[in-house]
Every structure is written in structure tokens, then in C-alpha cells.
Structure 1
């Protein structure tokens, strides 16, 4: 799923002060040292291709999982912290939605100085 990773990478790296590095064997994106997105391709054999992103908390996570179970899932390891995995393997991926979720996740992780400077 190199195409999906390339798209995720281009979305994430447009945001201010983003760094990509491998974390737990996965391409992961950080702002000011805080993880905000992780690309997963068949992570531990789960068969999914997804980008994991932060939510505002467990209530938002539950709402997204209930509202769109084909789009969102609860990712291993990150799910207990309120993260969601956004499916990027479907033929009809809504890339505007993916871009928005990645940017929102960045906002949740970014330091106040970046948000006060205008953020994204």
C-alpha cells in the first residue's frame, strides 16, 4: 500500500514542524516530539491498511466507531488512549476526510505556540 503511505506522508508533512520516523516498526509522524499519526499496513496480521490518529477522547472515539464502522476501527495499542484507525484501503477512500482527521490529530498534539501562531 505504498500509494496510501505516500498520500498520508504528503498530508502529514505539509503541517508545521512535522517529523517522520519509524516507531514500533511503523512510519509515524510527530510534532514537537508528540506522535499524532501512524501508518499501519497489516499491523500484526490484522489485514487492515489504516492511518491511526488522535481523537479528543473516548467519547469522540466511540461516536466515530458507531457512526462509520467501515471507515473507523479501534487500533491495537493506541485505541485505549482514544485513537482511531482510519481505513485507507477502500477503493472509495474519502481523502478529504483523511486529511482532516490527520490535521485534527496534529492540532491535538501540537504545542500551544504552534496553535497560537495560526496552526495549519
Structure 2
């Protein structure tokens, strides 16, 4: 069964997220379940679109210590399927989206799944795209 696509291209908010996610060492985009997923090698660190009802959201893997504080913030929610494994989600794409905060969440998620060599490359200050996903 093929999943329906969550996003219609072009999508400016998705493009900004894409630019942000693909700035990490060895990051790739793979379409899965009708959604763009961003992976550090084979491991997902971001899924765009937690559900058909919330396409402009990211599903991310928070630092376990930070998760406790994030769930107290009403902007964050437990996404279907990923939630039981500790993942959270937040909406993006609205005019008031805090892209600096989003970039921090994306990096934390990347760090949760990346291989040691990918983290070394990231920490070595590899020239990367803008942290906030802007050009």
C-alpha cells in the first residue's frame, strides 16, 4: 500500500527544514510513509509531518534529560507511532516559528542517532549551511 504524500511541493517551510537537516554530516533525505525523513546514515533523526492533520510538524528525538521539560511546554506533543519510543513533535512553518529553536532541536535529534565519526565531523566545525535553515 502506497502512502499519500503529506506535502505538496514546492513548500517553503519544508524547503527551509530540508536545508537545515541536510547541513549535517552524511545526512540524507528519504521519502517514507509519504513523508520526508532525514537520516544520519540509515537512522532517522527527523520526520517531517507527524500526521496528515499536522503536516507542518517535525518528529524528533530529544535528549532524554531535556524531554521532561519539553513535554511541559504546550507547543510540543507526543506523535503517533514514534511517541512510545520517547520521540516528540512540534509544529513549524507558521510566521512565528522560532527557527533558531528548531535548529537546536534538529541538532539534538541528529546527535541522538549519529555515528561517532559523524559527530566528530560535526564537532570539527565542518562548514555547514546556516544553522537556522536560511540561505
For the aligned residue pairs, the C-alpha RMSD in angstroms reads 1.9
Q: If each structure's helix is expressed as a fraction of its own residues, which one has the higher value? A: 1
User: What residue number does 2:92 align with?
Assistant: 88
User: What residue number does 1:36 align with?
Assistant: 45
Unaligned runs of 5+ in 2: 1-6, 126-135
User: What residue number does 2:60 align with?
Assistant: 53
SS state of the match for residue 99, structure 1?
Answer: helix
Unaligned runs of 5+ in 1: none
User: What residue number does 1:79 align with?
Assistant: 83
For the structure 1 residues 50 and 118, does the alpha-carbon distance in structure 2 shift closer, same or farther, using more than 3 Å as the test? closer
2:105 corresponds to 1:98? no
Instruction: Give the distance between the partners of 2:122 and 2:12, measured in 1 at CA.
Output: 30
Instruction: Give the distance between the partners of 2:15 and 2:55, measured in 1 at CA.
Output: 17
TM-score, normalising length: structure 1: 0.84
TM-score, normalising length: structure 2: 0.76
Q: If each structure's strand is expressed as a fraction of its own residues, which one has the higher value? A: 1
Shift of 1:48: 5.3
Count residues in correspondence. Answer: 115
Larger Rg, first or second structure (1 or 2): 2
Shift of 1:56: 2.5
User: What residue number does 1:116 align with?
Assistant: 120
Instruction: Give the distance between the partners of 2:31 and 2:66, measured in 1 at CA.
Output: 27
The 4+ residue runs of structure 1 with deviation greater than 3 A are 117-120
